[in-house]
Amino acid sequence: MRENEHSEKSNKKYLYLIVLMFLIPIPWITIRLLYLLGYISWSYENYAVISALLTGISIIAGAFLISWAAESSQEYLPPNLVLASIALINVIPEYVVDVYFTWVAGNNPEYKYYAISNMTGANRMLVGIVWPLILIVYLIARNREKKQNELPNYIQMEKNNILEMTFLIISTLYCFIIPMKGKLELMDTFVLFSIFVVYIYLATRMGKREPELEGPAYYISSLPKTKKIFLILSMFIFSGITFLASAKPFGESLLVVGSKIAEYIGFDPKLAKFLMVQWVAPIASESPEIIVVIIFAWKLLATDSFTTVVSSKINQWTLLVGFIPLIYFVSRIYHGHPGEPLVLDQLKYQEILLTAAQSLFASVILLDFKFTILKALLLFIPFFTQLINPTIRMEVTYVYLILSFLALFFVINKKSVAMLKESLSSVFGKLYKK
């Protein structure tokens, strides 16, 4: 009797929590809708702080909803597809921001730098900060639960993760070709989109597993099937709408706030805006991703958490990069200019090459299916060094390339080669039979 009463109280608590997360974005969505319909005026210059606050908490609420919906949906979908879907929906804000910069770049050459810097900043931040952050949160949660003897002090990837590892390597190797060509063109869109489509197709063919649910996700799973599916779909859709409504205003509001702060302290506003686009705007648009993976890691679902960010990296290397030449080409035609590829000058060349080098090193160190403290440090230190000194792009690029070469000798051994062969045979052999 008491257990039933406790269960009912818990279910009510979880239901109220879900409802609260649906309600939090409503004020901003209402303001945004009224603005788009012309009933109110809303200037980022005048309301930058309010805009940043309202959109920020809306993104956080949407991230909680999507994490619970994703956990619950593993009952019906292959886990690789679920985690790929989480990663895709979570980076929608990043796509919106970068597509906006790219579209404007079609008629304003200055915005070419913002489009490339936003894309490369988001890519490098995901690997340089978020990957190590997941490990830190996981280790803290591991100590909190006093499971030091039960769980390893590193993130252990599974056989199925060979799918993400394979496509991360493929997309990374192709992105080395872009700076060599000196331009982003429609052919890049076709190739990168094709890589993503194949990745998603294979993810749909992976086997399902029995999820271990708790909290709001457990409450959702306890509902009747029809209500459960309806709620899961509603949470996915509402989160997507929230991200789309909040991403651009959040990024623009932060740019205004940052520019005003830069002017106040005597910093170069133009350089400040460039750095804001590269680092602050991605922090805003990547916040759903960060929140979701931290939740997973805090629940000791470190493998799911890490798989999600690796999948996000694949999404950014394929869809996000692929969208840039497509949107730029269409924008040029729309604004009455001849359609043409986006030509890379020295700065854009260095930015993409540095991002590809970091991605290569990140790919190589995963070949033994482990993400350790040492690997996290080797990712973070070069990233942070270049962050505080943006001019040493090429030097850090060489560091990543040298580390990639050295990592092959330490990561690749008989045990890791055997596991790679076993994983490739097991996963892709199973996919081929299906």
Band of pLDDT at residue 5, cut at 50, 70 and 90: very low
Above 90 in pLDDT, residue 137?
Answer: yes
User: Three-state SS across 183-244?
Assistant: EECHHHHHHHHHHHHHHHHHHHCCCCCCCCCCCHHHHHHCCCHHHHHHHHHHHHHHHHHHHH
pTM of the model: 0.80
* Domain of residue 309, CATH code: 1.20.1420.30
Band of pLDDT at residue 254, cut at 50, 70 and 90: confident
Please list the alpha-helical segments (H only) found in 222-318: 225-265, 269-275, 281-298, 302-315
Q: Average pLDDT, stretch 182-205?
A: 89
Q: Average pLDDT, stretch 182-211?
A: 81
Instruction: Please state, for a pLDDT cut of 90, what percent of the chain lies above it.
Output: 33
Q: Which domain holds residue 403?
A: 2-433
pLDDT tens string 101-114: 899 899 988 888 88
Q: 383: helix, coil or strand?
A: helix
pLDDT tens string 344-401: 999 899 999 999 999 999 999 998 889 999 999 999 999 999 988 888 999 999 999 9
* Cα gap 328→322, rounded to integer Å: 11
How many domains does the chain contain in total? 1
